[in-house]
Amino acid sequence: MKKEEIELQIKKIQHWRHQIELPYGIVTPGFINTKKEWALYEIPNDLYGKRVLDIGCSDGYYSFQSEKQNASDVLAIDDKSSLFWNQGSAIGMVREILNSGVKFKHKSVYDLDKNKLGTFDFVFFLNVIYHLRYPLLGLDKIRQVMVPGATLLYKSYYSKNIEFKLFGKLVKIQVGKNPLVQFYPSNELAGDFTNWWGPNIPAHRAMIESSGFKIERELKRTYDRIYYKCIAV
């Protein structure tokens, strides 16, 4: 495509999540600095021979970057349930612009099946688990499509407090070492009805480890996000 055509296509998408580098120096106007986050995950420069799975891929940055770094096969999945899912398929548009071989399937994490999809060496699971109504089932399904020693890159919102109303008053409890999860039945978390859960840090660790993973390292912690590099055992 010509530069003007790409710019016109970009404007057709109402909400961009990822900043993706396109020809002519064009970068999609996402609110996540994906290039900076990619560097955080300590991914090898050469992914030749590796199969990559991007769960909840959204605009697809992590899929396209994996392809750039020579991944042998990249599968991106999303069930389009997020409020930020674009009106129109951004990942499809970017695939066309980049002439990419990344495969996209409209699937949920619950649809993962080793007999149909095979197994993977790297899995991106970023900002997804708190959107899952059945988070442990989701982690179990992920583990089933990963070879032993495979890498799970995990990012999520985490809760610092447990909040509830008692006799009409808001009560906040500072959480400590016990695994605790706040449940959001409606849109209490960020006004987003697709946000179901707010695990604290011990709950995240316990869920990951109970599902067949070892946390190799905590990569980063911000005021409300936790990043882990995990290994399938």
Structure tokens at 13: 């998408």
User: Residues 177-186: what's their mean pLDDT?
Assistant: 90
Q: Report yes or no on 93 lying in a domain.
A: yes
Q: Report yes or no on 74 lying in a domain.
A: yes
Domain encompassing residue 18 = 3-158+202-232
Mean pLDDT score of the chain = 93
Distances (CA, A) of 36 to 40, 41, 135, 232: 7, 9, 27, 25
User: Residues 107-111: what's their mean pLDDT?
Assistant: 96
Gap between the Cα atoms of 55 and 91, Å rounded: 13
Q: Report yes or no on 26 lying in a domain.
A: yes
pLDDT of residue 86: 57
SS3 state at 162? strand
Give percent helix, percent strand, percent coil of the chain, each to the nearest 5: 30, 30, 40
User: Residues 185-212: what's their mean pLDDT?
Assistant: 94
Q: What is the pLDDT of residues 148-179, one digit of tens each?
A: 999 999 999 999 876 677 888 877 666 668 89
What type of residue sits at position 192?
D
CATH number of the domain to which 130 belongs: 3.40.50.150
Q: Report yes or no on 176 lying in a domain.
A: no
User: Residues 78-98: what's their mean pLDDT?
Assistant: 81
pLDDT of residue 83: 65
Q: Report yes or no on 212 lying in a domain.
A: yes
SS3 state at 65? helix
Gap between the Cα atoms of 106 and 83, Å rounded: 16
Give the pairing type, strands 161-166 and 197-199: unpaired
User: Residues 96-101: what's their mean pLDDT?
Assistant: 97
Q: Report yes or no on 192 lying in a domain.
A: no
Task: Answer whether residue 45 shows pLDDT above 90.
Answer: yes
Q: Report yes or no on 206 lying in a domain.
A: yes
Distances (CA, A) of 119 to 73, 74, 204: 11, 11, 24
Structure tokens at 89: 């398929």
Task: Answer whether residue 65 shows pLDDT above 60.
Answer: yes
Instruction: Determine whether 215 is exposed, middle or buried from the number of CB atoms within 10 Å of its CB (0-12, 13-18, 19+).
Output: middle
pLDDT of residue 147: 96
Q: Please state, as a whole number, how many other Cβ atoms lie within 10 Å of the Cβ of residue 210.
A: 12
Q: Report yes or no on 11 lying in a domain.
A: yes
Q: What is the pLDDT of residues 121-147, one digit of tens each?
A: 999 999 999 999 999 999 999 999 999
Q: What is the pLDDT of residues 2-34, one digit of tens each?
A: 999 999 999 999 889 999 999 999 999 999 999
pLDDT of residue 203: 95
What lies within 8 Å, CB to CB, of 64 at 6+ separation is 20, 94, 98, 100, 102
pLDDT of residue 88: 59
According to DSSP, the residues that pair with 232 across neighbouring strands are 213
pLDDT of residue 160: 84
- Looking at the structure of the chain, the number of domains it has is 1
